[in-house]
Amino acid sequence: MGTMSKNHSRLSGEATDQRKVLDSWKDIADYLNRSVKTCHRWEEELGLPIHRLDGTPRARVFAYPAELDRWLAEKLHVAEAPAEKRRKGTRWIWLAGGAVIAVAALAALGWKLFLEKPIPAPAQVPTLAVLPFENRTGDSNWDAWKKALPDLITIDLWQSKFMEVIKTSYLFQAVGSLAEAEKFSPEDLKKVAEKAEVDYAVTGSLNKSGDEVIINALVQNARTGDVLASLRSTCRTENDIFSSVDKLSKEVKIALNIKPREIRGDIDKPVARITTISPQAFTLFSQACRVQGKLKFDEAISPLLKAVEIDPKFGLAYRVLFICCWNVSRKEEAKKYGEMAVRLADRIAEREREYFLNGFYSQLKKKAIEALKRLEKNYPYDMWMVSLSEFYASQEQWDKAIPILGKVILRFPKKSSVIQTLSECYQSVGLYDKAEKLLDDYMKANPKLGSQMIFILERRLHLVLVQSKFDAAHDYADRLTAAFPNVFSEGLLWKGFVYFMQDDFVNAEKAYQRLVEKDDPRIQSGGYYNLAAVSLSRGRIEEAKQRILRAIELDKSKSARQSHMEGNYRSFLAYLERLSGRLPEALKEAELACQSPDEGPPLTFVRRLYLRALITLEMNQFEEFEKQAEEVKRYLDPDRIPRGAPRFMRVYYNLLGHRELQKANYDQAIRYYWKALDLLSLLGAQGADGDHAKYYYDLAEAFLRRDGGFPVNISMYEKVFLPTVSRQHCGDLYAKSYYWMGLHWEQRIRHIIQTPAEAQENRLKAIGYYRKFLDLWKDADPIFPEVEDAKKRLARLEAD
């Protein structure tokens, strides 16, 4: 900036001794008796006070001997000496200084190895927002630092394991225009505390004293306005701001009562090392981050490009360029800037770096997850750990997800995303009481949660539903509708689903029918999809086909960006065609389903591949089936994160069971089916594939065929009835399980010697199961012979 040029000219003009200003790297290196390369490194890593005429990395450098003397005294802990005396005795000073450094290094190493162990991050830490400063210098050249200085302090403090600092981009989203203010009243600080969820704030001002700029900062309790500490640092030029921030950051930690040992063991690289050595580049970066915080990604790109032009090694600026370009669909540019940030990853703070790598490698999930695992080592309470827990949950590794969330919730007890994921994990391992208490306590503590309450109520509803608490489930569905009347579809979808799980198909259809009456193709298509699921559960296959065809038609009417359900709809249609015996038509729909985008939960697309292979097998195309089965296996490879997982190989083993069943190798089929079942998730969850019923039913069918049509092993049929087993995609298996249960108890009467009382008990059981089956399929299509057979058997039993 102009200020630096004027200072340099003034000092150069006044000096009679040219050594008062060292105006090249060679002069600076000679003065310090070190190589130019070493001086470069000291500037970058240790804050050696080097100045540039215009503040850019390529500009001509100069330094003041007095500043170098002060810097040496601070770094080496020796008394400051006059410049002339230092030049004469510089060799002895460096020898002595080297000895001091060596001894200090050995002492520090010994202390670290024998006395100080690394201190893990604590659960409870102070939370802080660094707010804009006021420019009282009277010099407009310092205006940019009103916001850039707090941004720099925020970046420096954000490295810490022992505090939480709200980032600049999030601050504006939390408090709106208040984030742009210069002065803050006690009432303003209270608003910041409440909306940004912080306890402390740093405010301050820039003041002029002669040729120096004084940074004054206040560390305050944001909720009470009490001042914890008044801090001060002096800058001769803008270049000094970076070392001033390093100093102020440590003093902020002290003000927040962070222990000296924790400060010593904290992650705290020099801020110039994790940002830039150019003041001009950083002020441009700060400007861009402020714009990005307002979600104006397009406007942020230009200042970021100028920043990296000034400092091509500004890794953090490339990281934000990647985000901005990605959000405005400039994907090729995003990739280029992302790759630059990867190359400069050592210039980005550890925490920020792992955030970036997780996002950059989002399509290469293994690398993305590795970044989160590295982050967990030093920042186990970080909110991004929720992403790691969600990954484990998506792989049905709830035992790994729960401890992670148990830590995060200690620091962020008000975050609904943490509550949702942890309650789901508890439910998945059958810890219903813990899940209920977690959700109930959260709703009680946050009655005015807003739209996030939708997800909490949905989790609560699902929790009671898997326990067959239907009255409670209806209550929660009604609460959803009453609390969020504008979210019309959510309440009806849940209301319909509760009726569906109760086998009350009439009322389920009424709820879903109201969805198809809405003037919204997205809601209508979802309504028809659910109506088709009801039709399947009632054995009305042709009706289900017409409904799913209507869902496909409506889904196509939506924009390509919105449309993502066609693959699922066509897969459902393929399943229905298969039940009708129209295998060529079923295979055609299955092929179309597999051509749709691979989106959604981990096993959504696998379900399509699985069904295509199953239909191909039933058409006796064994060679093609083997190819398709191998495709499923490759897709489920445990190393293919996140789609692959050890538990998900159950889909492949189930397919092999079908192959052996088709060949009448019953014992081998049973072995494969058992292998698939052993990988099935615990009964507290519905799992990633959402149709567990097939695993139980397929094994039961293998036993049935092996035993000559006598359903001996009925435990698998009984599991199909469990409320934790979803049946939207296989309602036919649910209904037919009642038929086979009836047949089992009837045949026990006719083929096993028993007392009259036992025979009567078994007769009543058989009657009950046949009645339930016929109640479900009383209006089923005539393609199912089980219906007429059940009617005859029931009539005979009731006549006995």
Q: In this predicted structure, what is the pLDDT of residue 132?
A: 94
How would residue 65 be classed by pLDDT, with cut points 50, 70 and 90? Answer: confident
**CA–CA separation, 332 and 343 (whole Å):** 17
CA atoms within 13 A of residue 435's CA, in its CB half-sphere: 27
* Percent of the chain residues topping a pLDDT of 70: 88
CA distance 274 to 313: 10
Predicted confidence (pLDDT) at residue 189 exceeds the cutoff of 50: yes
- Spell out the CATH class of 2-115: mainly alpha
Q: State yes or no: pLDDT of 687 exceeds 80.
A: no
Longest dimension (CA), the chain: 125
Is 60 exceeded by the pLDDT of residue 563? no
- Please, what is the average pLDDT of the chain? 87
Of 126-140, 161-175, 191-205, 727-741, minimum mean pLDDT range = 161-175
Q: How confident is the model at residue 556 (pLDDT cuts 50, 70, 90)?
A: confident
Q: Cβ neighbours of residue 713 under 8 Å, at least 6 residues apart? A: 700, 703
Confidence of residue 81 (pLDDT cuts 50, 70, 90): very low
Confidence of residue 729 (pLDDT cuts 50, 70, 90): confident
Residue predicted with more confidence, 105 or 225: 225
What per-residue confidence (pLDDT) applies to 481? Answer: 84
What pLDDT is recorded for position 179?
86
Q: Of 773 and 81, which is predicted with more confidence?
A: 773
Q: CB atoms < 10 A from the CB of 159, how many? A: 21
Output the pLDDT for position 583: 97
Question: Which band of pLDDT confidence, cut at 50, 70 and 90, is reported for residue 7?
Answer: very low
- Nearest to residue 95, comparing CAs of 71, 108, 80, 78? 78
Q: What is the pLDDT of residues 127-146, one digit of tens each?
A: 999 999 999 999 998 999 99
For the four alpha carbons of 72, 76, 80 and 83, in that order, the dihedral sign comes to: negative
Q: How many Å apart are CA 238 and CA 235, to the nearest integer? A: 7
Task: Return the exposure string of 190-203: e unless at least 16 CB atoms fall within 10 Å of the residue's CB, then b.
Answer: bbbbebbebbbbbb
pLDDT at position 419 over 90:
yes
Domain 282-348 sits in CATH 1.25.40.10: yes
Q: Superfamily assignment of 127-274 in CATH?
A: TolB, N-terminal domain (3.40.50.10070)
pLDDT band, very low/low/confident/very high, at 78 (cuts 50, 70, 90): very low
Residue 83 is predicted with a pLDDT of 43
Q: What is the pLDDT of residue 19?
A: 41
Place of tokens 């017409």: 546
Residue 598 confidence (pLDDT): 73
Q: What are phi and psi of 283, to 5 degrees?
A: -65, -35
C-alpha closest to that of 322 among 305, 307, 303, 335:
335
Share of residues in the chain with pLDDT > 90 (%)? 63
214, 208 Cβ separation under 8 angstroms? yes
Q: Assign 642 a pLDDT band (cuts: 50, 70, 90).
A: low
Q: What is the 3-state secondary structure (H, E, C) of 10-75?
A: HHHHHCCCHHHCECCHHHHHHHHCCCHHHHHHHHHHHCCCCEECCCCCCCCEEECHHHHHHHHHHH
**139 φ, ψ (degrees, to nearest 5):** -115, 110
Q: What is the pLDDT of residue 310?
A: 96
Rounded to whole angstroms, the Cα distance separating 277 from 281 reads 8
Evaluate if residue 84 carries a pLDDT over 70.
Answer: no
Looking at per-residue confidence, does 367 or 314 come out higher?
314
Per-residue pLDDT of 247-299, as tens digits, reads 999 999 999 999 999 999 999 999 999 999 999 999 999 999 988 888 899 99
pLDDT at 30: 83
pLDDT for residue 435 is more than 90:
yes
The residue ranges of DSSP E strands in 66-142, in sequence order, are 127-135
The closest of 654, 647, 645 to 617, measured between CA atoms, is 654
Query: Do 424 and 459 meet the contact criterion of CB atoms below 8 Å apart?
Result: yes
What percent of the chain is helix, strand and coil (3-state, nearest 5)? 65, 5, 30
Quote the CA–CA distance of 645 and 633 in Å, as a whole number.
11
Q: Classify residue 142 by its DSSP letter.
A: G
Backbone phi, then psi, for 734, in 5-degree steps? Answer: -60, -50
More confident residue, 363 or 614: 614
Mean pLDDT of 88-102: 51
DSSP calls for 509-549: HHHHHHHHTSS-HHHHHHHHHHHHHHHHHTT-HHHHHHHHH
Gap between the terminal Cα atoms of the chain: 103
Closest alpha carbon to 393 in 564, 642, 207: 642
Q: What is the model's pLDDT at position 94?
A: 46
Average pLDDT over residues 764-791: 96
* Banded model confidence at residue 754, pLDDT cuts 50, 70, 90: confident
Higher pLDDT, 28 or 149: 149
Q: How many CB atoms lie within 10 A of CB 220?
A: 23
pLDDT digit string (tens) for 349-362?
999 999 999 989 87
pLDDT at 14 over 50: no
Distance CA 431, CA 433 (A): 6
Sequence-distant (6+) residues with CB within 8 A of 339 are none
Q: Which pLDDT band holds residue 453 (cuts at 50, 70, 90)?
A: confident
